[in-house]
Amino acid sequence: MASRATMEGKGTAVPVEKDPDILAAAARMAGEDLCSIADLSSGEVRAILRLGHDVKGNPREYRHALDGKQMVLMFEKASLRTRLAFETGINTLGGNAIFVDQTNQPLGERETIADVARNLERWVDVIVLRTYAHDTITEMAANARVPVINALSDFEHPCQALADFMALEEHFGTATGLNFTYVGDGNNVCHSLMLAGAQLGANVTVATPRGYSPDIEIVTKAREIAEANGCEIRLLQDPQAAVESADAVYTDVCVSMGMEHESTKRAPIFRPFQVNEALMSKAAPHAVFMHCLPARRNEEVTDAVIDSPQSIVFEQAENRLHAQKALLLLLLGGLANVKAFSS
């Protein structure tokens, strides 16, 4: 491990095993939940990303870190990236994943969430939930003695935001000072991006149609964090102004899972917010395009943009694996089993 490259260009020249943010996060986060990006300090967000970069570059060093650990994934919604990244992640760290399909029977319907939690904590080491109601996740976390991870709720998508900013760090070297613009629906993904951007010192601009702004509770919290970190959160209703000089332009579907009945209503409202070549031309020449996927091509984004050299959507998707591995390592105390950290 002595020959491992330091994280120079990712915000520090300190070897990861001596990184104060990672060491502090390992001590504080073990056994904790991740329901929201707001559950993390700025140092902990930095630690997850720095550890994610190292896990990505040096996977062999971590392959036995979670030997014998059991993870259950209980999903009320369909998933590609989230599920496979968690399953592959814990498997390559030495643990095991168990998937429980809840798409036909939401959690809390057959038996109370509290009772489910009290069963699961006796069998597994971590619970990963993908739900409609955010309350399902917070109730599980309140009743389970093992870590609970939000793998998407109607209020937040923290794992997505971590991977997204990891991709930005790879591309730009740091997220601090970046001008990050989100265009579209002020949804769960938007909420987590605002919080993560503020934690990392990025200037976040959100452009939504009137009536589709992000939740005021999230806006208030993100602005508090941003003030402490010397950056800014802006809310606009003009996508043209929002992308002006942006380093990154991000969008998501305008109809989230569970909202399909609003498709016809939303289509004309969000049409002016489509990310196309004309809109991207207003961003900085070096700007990247981002999307959490799956994309509804030629609706919220055109083929010409998502398939362009500016697009880093598949880098984002790849980093779901590495960011989620880093998160599991910290929540499950896995660094104690990694030679460099234990020596």
Q: Cα–Cα distance between 183 and 240 in angstroms, integer?
A: 10
Q: Which of 81, 83, 130, 223 is catalytic?
A: 130
- Whether 130 is a known active-site residue: answer yes
Non-local (6+) Cβ contacts of 304 within 8 A are 276, 277
Residue type, 301: V
Q: Which of 50, 223, 320, 322 is catalytic?
A: 320
Q: Which of 154, 164, 185, 252 is catalytic?
A: 252
Alpha helices in 108-201 (DSSP H): 113-120, 134-143, 158-172, 188-200
Q: Which of 160, 274, 316, 324 is catalytic?
A: 160
Q: How far apart are the first and last CA of the chain?
A: 10
- Whether 324 is a known active-site residue: answer no
Q: How many whole angstroms from its chain centre is CA 154? A: 14
- Whether 252 is a known active-site residue: answer yes
Q: How many whole angstroms from its chain centre is CA 260? A: 23
Report CA dihedral (136, 138, 143, 146) to the nearest 10 degrees.
110
With 0-12 / 13-18 / 19 or more C-beta atoms within 10 angstroms meaning exposed / middle / buried, residue 195 is buried
Q: Which of 83, 134, 157, 223 is catalytic?
A: 157
Q: Which of 154, 247, 292, 310 is catalytic?
A: 292
Q: How many whole angstroms from its chain centre is CA 99? A: 20
- Whether 271 is a known active-site residue: answer no
Non-local (6+) Cβ contacts of 295 within 8 A are 253, 301, 306, 313
- Whether 157 is a known active-site residue: answer yes
Residues carrying an active site annotation: 130, 157, 160, 252, 292, 320
